[in-house]
Amino acid sequence: MKELPKTDLATLESQIPEGKYMLFFTAGWCPDCRFIKPAMPEIEQKYQDYTFLKVDRDENIDLAGEMDVMGIPSFVAYDNGQEIGRFSNPDRKTKQEVEKFIDSLNK
């Protein structure tokens, strides 16, 4: 998974004008992030139509604020530069819950 460098919302949206992207907001100190991290390679493999970008919430605290991402881990989906959905809350997320969220985007 590619790591997103420190950026702001306008720059991010200009860098993802085409295609499907899944932003994965995380932090090294976050136990719920560590819980889902082992499942991420399988999720990426299953949803190859998305480019997954790891967003270090602490490094990108301004971006998280601009996007109203308060809880981590969080997932924000984009399609052709437009946000199409998010799975953002302070709860632990399972592989099945993340897959259900992504599946809901494709309907």
Nearest of 64, 82, 84 to residue 72 by alpha carbon: 64
d(Cα 77, Cα 81) in Å, to the nearest integer? 10
8 A C-beta contact, residue 51 and residue 36: no
Nearest CA to 86 out of 75, 94, 95, 96 is that of 75
Q: Which positions are catalytic?
A: 30, 33
Backbone conformation region of residue 5, classed left if phi is above 0, alpha if psi is from -120 to 50, else beta: beta
